[in-house]
Amino acid sequence: MVPGFLLVQGLCFPLVKACVFGNEPKASDEVPLAPRTETAETTPVWQALKLLFCATGLQVSYLTWGVLQERVMTRSYGATATSPGERFTDSQFLVLMNRVLALIVAGLSCVLCKQPRHGAPMYRYSFASLSNVLSSWCQYEALKFVSFPTQVLAKASKVIPVMLMGKLVSRRSYEHWEYLTAGLISIGVSMFLLSSGPEPRSSPATTLSGLILLAGYIAFDSFTSNWQDALFSYKMSSVQMMFGVNLFSCLFTVGSLLEQGALLEGTRFMGRHSEFAAHALLLSICSACGQLFIFYTIGQFGAAVFTIIMTLRQAFAILLSCLLYGHTVTVVGGLGVAVVFAALLLRVYARGRLKQRGKKPVPMESPVQKV
């Protein structure tokens, strides 16, 4: 018992301390948060290549993640000519896999790269962790009841509850154009939802369940973003935030799975279906790698370029899902999608104009745990 305690004290505690609180000397407390990297290689060609690298990494990571997410939650495994196979139903197990791999990646990044020292109480990570776990669970569960294009469009419209949470949590004020674009997004989402016919396997009851789950996802995710923004006031890096949030997320999901007795069942399902194990592992890898691409892209090119890339990714995700899984979108629904993404790009343009005039726009939502 004593050697085990010494192992935890000698190995795990220094790792957590370095990841969560930083490993720089106290004299460097004034190090700015995530400074943009300055290199000698700033020629237009080199910058274009870096931008192409970032855009490709983000698109590949999250488009693959989206395709696998829909495959895992809506299709059967082990189907044969005589057996329909079985579906994976425990979203919490997928959340745990994603968080464990993200925790490992964030921990390695914190150990290998020097992190700023900060004084954020560890318990404050738990609030963002709990809301993040709940938002991820709602996101996976919603795919049992609504189509993937509907889910992506709901994510695109979360700017509205983010603004509401910003007023409640951070006491922020917004410009008139922000309310205008939020209204356009609402109109576009309404056009899509009202014009799209029901999925073949859905009914009004299941569609309503899916919309309630999507509303839960958006509400919890909006709280997560605003709470993380408040945590960044402690001058931590994005990787430290990623580690702290995922550390508590792993504790919450493991505790919940053990209490329900679902951890072993999820492991047995992986044992029965090697294809599911490969899909779940690749899904988690895409999620963790995508997070690192987010940090690098924002550090090199800023939040505006990152938002444009991710907005295009959402449009590509809808198109890819329709091609691979046979979802239908009417002309009016397509116009609704166009209105939503036009409004999102308008928001990016308006923020850029504000910066040019020397005005400070309201910060965009935290990049941590985008998916």
| Chain segment 205-238, per-residue pLDDT in tens | 457 888 899 989 988 988 888 888 888 888 888 8
pLDDT for 138 beyond 90:
yes
Question: Would you state the pLDDT for residue 256?
Answer: 92
pTM here is 0.76
- Mean pLDDT over each residue of the chain, to the nearest integer: 80
- b/e code 86-109 from CB counts within 10 Å (16+ = b): ebbebbbbbbbbbbbbbbebbbeb
Contact present, 294 and 306 (Cβ < 8 Å):
yes
Residue 171 φ then ψ, to 5°: 55, 45
Contact present, 306 and 238 (Cβ < 8 Å):
no
Q: How confident is the model at residue 276 (pLDDT cuts 50, 70, 90)?
A: very high
Sign of the alpha-carbon torsion through 156, 159, 165, 169: positive
Question: Would you state the pLDDT for residue 64?
Answer: 96
pLDDT for 98 beyond 70:
yes
pLDDT for 25 beyond 80:
no
